[in-house]
A and B are shown apart, each in its own frame.
Chain A
Amino acid sequence: MQADTLQRTPLHDRHVALGARLVAFAGWEMPVEYAGVISEHRAVRADCGVFDVSHMGELEVEGPRARDLLQSLLSNDLDRVQPGEAQYTLLTNERGGIVDDLIVYSIEPGRYLLVVNASNRETDFRWLKERELRGSEVSDRSEEYALLAVQGPRAFERLELPAERPFTWSMDLVDGIEVMVNRTGYTGEPGCELMVPAEDASALWDAVVARGATPCGLAARDSLRLEVCYPLHGNDITPETDAISAGLGWVCVLEKEFTGVEALRRIKEAGPERRLVAFVMDERAIPRAGMAIAEGGEVTSGTHSPMLDIGIGMGYVPAELAQPGTSLTIDVRGRPRRARVVRKPIYQREG
């Protein structure tokens, strides 16, 4: 891990000034925590936190056949999305495996923005570029933009922005800075992701922090998403895992044609052999990705839940063990520890 070969976001100096612990992630030097993952995590659940997610990729697809291209490559139905709206969707391969999970924003007729995982940015770009149609132009705009996720029950109040409904976007101002307000996120809380030109990133970060958002690192981002069972690409979902087994059938519209749809129809028809389940530990232990599940399968994500104060995780198990309440045994570095399958999400705010 050579620090000098890592990319830095436009907010790198802000992270250093705040004393963040920096780590290498997907080729980027990113803040993993500032004051501490647990207090950051709880700030997002109770109030509002801000995350630098400028490492994520932004791909643009334009042209009269942009919609046709995306409709043939993405699992969800783009016809359900109007300009001003967004949709969670999957880029799938011929086997129904998940090349990436992403959010597509309809900017205007014939123009779409795809926000993709940092680690898959180049793969996704090539995947789309190689399949371009005459009349659809794919471009990688990632270098031009910074992205700040502002998440928590008080996010909109602190930003003085209208809450509106999730999975919509609009242009607005935060302390005089023009931002694209994307009402999406990865924490299970209300909030938005603010996209700005890279040169405005520092001013926007300062404004959001001055409004009381707690700076949060990638560690809290991971524990927050796992409590609400949002899958992490590369861990819970990969090109080798299909959307049906992963519990993402709800973003696969099998009535339309897209890459891998035949495979997904077959898996749905036959029933998947294994399923991605959520579980909690019944004994004191923290599950981690890669640990074996004695009854069959493997942990794909695991952590300590700061809200529940127990070990939690997700993993693939034989389909007959996917029922909530089923006992599992996690191999914690040679020690068998009891766990129990639970309904997703693992954590939900009371009331």
Chain B
Amino acid sequence: VSVAAAETYPDDLKYHREHDWVRVEGDEATLGITWFAQDSLGELVHYEPPEPGSEINKDVSYGEVESVKAVSELISPLSGEVLEVNGSVVDAPETVNEDPYGEGWLVRIRISNPAEVEDLLDAAAYRSLIAEQ
């Protein structure tokens, strides 16, 4: 039985309004879904990742996650090339519920349009966004 993480939105991450987070490291970025997203979905039981090497595009679906009841598209916060998929989450999707910003990351990409980073929200802006929902 998985242990749900406590609600947090770390200040060192950037956020997309479709409830993804981004950790920018130079020209690379790690993507995942926020605490809010995993809490809305409930315990995840499936992660359908993109192919390593494929291109993903900002605001477009790059994969899916599923709970027992629901399917949710993963909307990419940035455009780029998929460098790595988190195989541990493919094998144990509940990792996302347990540690959404750490072990529960979903993909690592090479950013193709660094200007897109400017469009992302900071933690405070994302918190106000979800407060309205």
Contact = CB atoms under 8 A, between A and B. Distances in A.
Interface of A: 21, 32-33, 36-39, 41-42, 219, 222-223, 284-286, 288, 303-304, 306, 309, 311, 333, 335
A335 B69 CA distance: 19
A286 B48 CA distance: 10
Given A306-B68, A333-B71, 6 more contacts: A38-B43, A286-B45, A286-B46, A286-B66, A303-B69, A304-B45
Contacts of A306: 68
A157 B64 CA distance: 42
Nearest to B40: A21
Nearest to A304: B45
Interface of B: 1, 4, 42-43, 45-46, 48, 64, 66-69, 71, 90
User: Taking chain A's interface residues, is the majority helix, strand, or loop, or is none over half, making it mixed?
Assistant: mixed
A272 B83 CA distance: 51
Given A286-B45, A286-B46, A304-B46, A37 B69 contact: yes
A160 B71 CA distance: 41
Nearest to A310: B45
Contact of A36 (B43, B46, B48, B90): B43
A36 B68 CA distance: 10
Contact of A38 (B1, B71, B90): B1
Nearest to B45: A304
Contacts of A303: 68-69
B43 A37 contact: yes
B43 A32 contact: no
25 contacts: A32-B69, A33-B42, A36-B43, A37-B43, A37-B67, A37-B68, A37-B69, A38-B1, A38-B68, A39-B1, A41-B68, A42-B1, A219-B68, A219-B69, A222-B69, A284-B46, A285-B48, A286-B45, A286-B66, A286-B71, A288-B71, A303-B69, A304-B45, A304-B66, A333-B64
